[in-house]
């Protein structure tokens, strides 16, 4: 009887071993793709940093350094006017520009390479030939873009903190919350990049940045808190469909808690919702473009 029990359990043990071996194979293939992309990023790190820094650097230099030093008083000084309303424009910009850096880096890290990989040369076919499910290749792109987004936020932080002529009042209210917001925001921006990159034709990818990315940035509570839209109620409600709103408000709650900001639980919940929704849409589009 004990021998019969051993014989009955042997196939189950073999099946578990085979599943474990396949999981290890997938993990090694996933890590191999990630290391390959990391090598490319390390080789092109300087252009990446320049691309990340240029837009926030110019914006900060003009609006928080040049204008406060110009004559003409508060009418030409957004920092002074915001301070008069109980806000410091430089402080408002710190989390907002970090959110923009996360969003732009995540989209650029996925959507732009996909435009080339889905082009005439079909470079995407080389990637999907690795021993991984096709959906896992798309997930690897999201994860690697999240790494770039976090690096971009780390690069922008000292610029937004030290360049403004008026002091930036910032401190971390909760490290776990800040880390959660950074991770969710970075993954969400990568998922948005995957959705965009698989939804439009490669030759139209440049148009998307003007038609989609720029509007969601300017309407993403980057340059003003969401609570400041209370006098434009229809707009305050309308921007809630914009994922960058929750990135900006989450970073504002974590770094500048003295300013008005959204509820932290709402921020985490909505970022999780957008991450799941955009990942599902992105993977669905990726499978359609690769297999179909």
Rounded CA gap, 12 and 27, in Å?
Answer: 23
Q: Which whole-number Å values give the CA distances from 155 to 150, 160, 288, in the listed order?
A: 9, 9, 36
Tally the C-alpha atoms within 13 A of residue 138's C-alpha that lie toward its C-beta. 25
Enter the pTM of the model.
Answer: 0.84
CA distance 160 to 229: 23
- When comparing pLDDT for 202 and 27, which is higher? 27
Mean pLDDT of 277-289: 91
pLDDT at residue 84, rounded to an integer: 45
* Residue 28's pLDDT band (cuts 50, 70, 90): confident
Residue 13, pLDDT > 80, answer no
How confident is residue 87, by pLDDT bands cut at 50, 70 and 90? Answer: low
pLDDT band at 4 (very low <50, low <70, confident <90, very high): very low
The H-assigned helical ranges of the chain are 2-43, 45-61, 67-69, 78-84, 89-117, 124-128, 134-162, 175-199, 205-208, 214-218, 233-238, 243-255, 264-291
What is the rounded average pLDDT of the residues 270-283? 95
Q: What is the reported pLDDT for 255?
A: 92
In this structure, how many other beta carbons lie within 10 angstroms of the beta carbon of residue 141? 27
Per the structure block, which two tokens stand in for 24? 């290890």
pLDDT of residue 156: 87
**What pLDDT, on the 0 to 100 scale, is given for residue 75?**
46
């Amino acid at each position: 009887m004990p021998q019969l029990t051993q014989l009955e359990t042997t196939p189950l043990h073999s099946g578990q071993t085979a599943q474990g071996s396949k999981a290890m194979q997938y993990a090694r293939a996933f890590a191999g793709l990630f290391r390959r992309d990391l090598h490319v990023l390390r080789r092109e790190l300087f252009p990446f940093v320049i691309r990340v820094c240029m837009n926030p650097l110019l914006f900060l230099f003009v609006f928080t350094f040049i204008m406060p030093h110009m004559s003409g008083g508060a009418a030409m000084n957004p920092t002074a006017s915001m301070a008069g309303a109980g806000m410091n424009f430089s402080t408002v910009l710190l989390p907002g520009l970090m959110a923009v850096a996360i969003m732009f880096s995540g989209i650029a890290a996925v959507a732009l390479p996909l435009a080339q990989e889905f082009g005439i040369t079909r470079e995407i076919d080389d990637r999907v030939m690795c021993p991984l499910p096709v959906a896992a290749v798309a997930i690897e792109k999201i994860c690697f873009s999240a790494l770039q987004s976090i690096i971009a936020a780390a690069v922008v932080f000292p610029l937004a903190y030290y360049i403004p002529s008026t002091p930036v009042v910032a401190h971390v209210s909760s490290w776990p919350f800040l880390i959660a917001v950074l991770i969710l925001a970075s993954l969400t921006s990568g998922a948005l990049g995957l959705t965009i990159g698989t939804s439009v034709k490669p030759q139209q990818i440049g148009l998307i940045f003007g038609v989609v990315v720029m509007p969601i940035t300017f309407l993403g509570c980057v340059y003003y808190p969401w609570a400041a839209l209370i006098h434009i109620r229809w707009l305050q409600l309308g921007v809630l469909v914009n994922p960058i709103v929750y990135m900006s408000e989450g970073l504002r709650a974590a770094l500048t808690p003295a300013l008005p900001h959204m509820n932290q639980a709402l921020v985490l919940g909505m970022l999780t919702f957008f991450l799941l929704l955009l990942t599902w849409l992105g993977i669905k589009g990726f499978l359609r473009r690769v297999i179909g």
